[in-house]
Amino acid sequence: MTAGKKPVIFCDFDGTITLSDNIVAIMKHFKPEGYEPIMKRTVDQEITLRQGVGEMFALLPASRKDEIVDFVLNRAGIREGFREFLDYVKQAEIEFYVTSGGMDFFIDPLLAPFNIPADHIFCNGADFSGDTIEILWPHPCQDPCTNGCGMCKTTVMRRFPEEKYERILIGDSLTDFEGAKIADMVYSRSILTDKCAELGVKHMPFQNFFDIIADLKQKHQQGVL
């Protein structure tokens, strides 16, 4: 952490704010024919996230929208300490953004109780007007990112120049790998922890948002944030 820079937090949604990944859960529950090889190739990074997620959702009939939304809303749990964490960042005047590779049709209702301004939530959209679900990408990769992120976390993060901002990423998985490479500090779970170790990125593994509050408070007291 560097004194004098303004902290800004970019927080993943699936598997970070929620207890597990909702895209994976939708696919495993509805099992559209042919999703498994696409999921594998996406996880193995043989195809881009944008291609993989787009192709998997294109296997699901749009007529199942209500079932899919109900499924996610009924099973997705919010990680412990999230509300307290939002209170803390507000009080500490730390800018906070949700940066998610997921879709608005489940993110917006799940985040509704937390009153996060809409322009602080970056995610993908979905069009249910055709035969199958079409994923929409309002925040695609911009130069210099050519990763095919879908929702490009680095493009969002680059709007906060590194000379002025201490860029803090919170995440757990594949959608966070590129952002972690340019973050000053990462709070990590799951395979993002392994990735940060591999990349040599400064990171702190966490279980819940109370862990992150405690670390941010400590850094604040030490005058490094």
Interface residue with Zn ion among 51, 132, 147, 208 (CB under 5 A) is 147
| Residues contacting Zn ion: total by CB under 5 A | 5
CB of 125 to Zn ion, least distance (A): 17
Q: Which is nearer to Mg ion, 15 or 52 (CB)?
A: 15
Interface residue with Zn ion among 152, 168, 174, 186 (CB under 5 A) is 152
Answer with the entry of Mg ion, Zn ion, none that 12 interacts with (C-beta below 5 to 8 A by kind).
Answer: Mg ion
With a CB cutoff of 8 Å and minimum separation 6, the contacts of 2 are 166, 184, 224
51 lies in the site for Zn ion, by CB under 5 A: no
Q: Which is nearer to Zn ion, 68 or 152 (CB)?
A: 152
With a CB cutoff of 8 Å and minimum separation 6, the contacts of 132 are 57, 58, 59, 60, 61, 62
| Cα–Cα distance for residue pair 185/157, rounded to 1 Å | 13
CA angle 114, 111, 50 (to 5 degrees): 145
26 lies in the site for Zn ion, by CB under 5 A: no
Answer with the entry of Zn ion, Mg ion, none that 15 interacts with (C-beta below 5 to 8 A by kind).
Answer: Mg ion
CB of 154 to Zn ion, least distance (A): 5
DSSP letter string, 112-156: GGG---GGGEEEEEEE-SSSB-EEE-SS---TT--S--SS-HHHH
- 90: its two tokens: 């507000």
> For residue 169, which of 145, 198, 193 has the smallest C-alpha distance?
193
172 lies in the site for Mg ion, by CB under 5 A: yes
Residues 2-21, mask of contacts with Mg ion (x by CB under 5 A): ----------x-xx------
135 lies in the site for Zn ion, by CB under 5 A: no
End-to-end CA distance of the chain: 6
48 lies in the site for Zn ion, by CB under 5 A: no
Q: What are phi and psi of 41, to 5 degrees?
A: -65, -30
173 lies in the site for Mg ion, by CB under 5 A: yes
Binding site for Zn ion (CB under 5 A): 141, 145, 147, 149, 152
Binding site for Mg ion (CB under 5 A): 12, 14-15, 172-173
